[in-house]
Amino acid sequence: MRVSRSKNIIVKYQDRLGEFHTVETKDKMARCFQHEIAHLDGILYIDRMSDEYVFNEETNEKASVKYFLDLTRERFST
């Protein structure tokens, strides 16, 4: 699954000392920033899944989205 992301972004942030900064980035770094910001917003890969099943493209095996959600719950509930 490919997530649509902006090619160029400007990020405004506050560092641990309370100083405000702005960074402008593009291409792979912009994609990385957006990926990590999604995590800060509590969004994971499995949250973006809309189908009932996902397929491993290499083995063509099918797994349910519920299976991945259950794995995540187990991992974070310990």
For 7-47, what is each residue's pLDDT tens digit? 999 999 999 999 999 999 999 999 999 999 988 988 877 67
Annotated catalytic residues are 36
The verdict on 59 and 39 lying in the same domain is no
The verdict on 55 and 34 lying in the same domain is no
Determine contact, residues 71/45, Cβ cutoff 8 Å.
no
Q: Model-level pTM?
A: 0.59
Determine contact, residues 69/54, Cβ cutoff 8 Å.
no
Predicted pLDDT of residue 62: 73
If DSSP codes are grouped into helix, strand and coil, which group holds residue 53?
Answer: strand
The verdict on 78 and 49 lying in the same domain is yes
Predicted pLDDT of residue 56: 66
**Between 58 and 17, the higher pLDDT residue:** 17
Mean pLDDT of 60-66: 73
Predicted pLDDT of residue 75: 63
The verdict on 59 and 38 lying in the same domain is no
Query: Residue 38 corresponds to which tokens in the numbers above?
Result: 């999604």
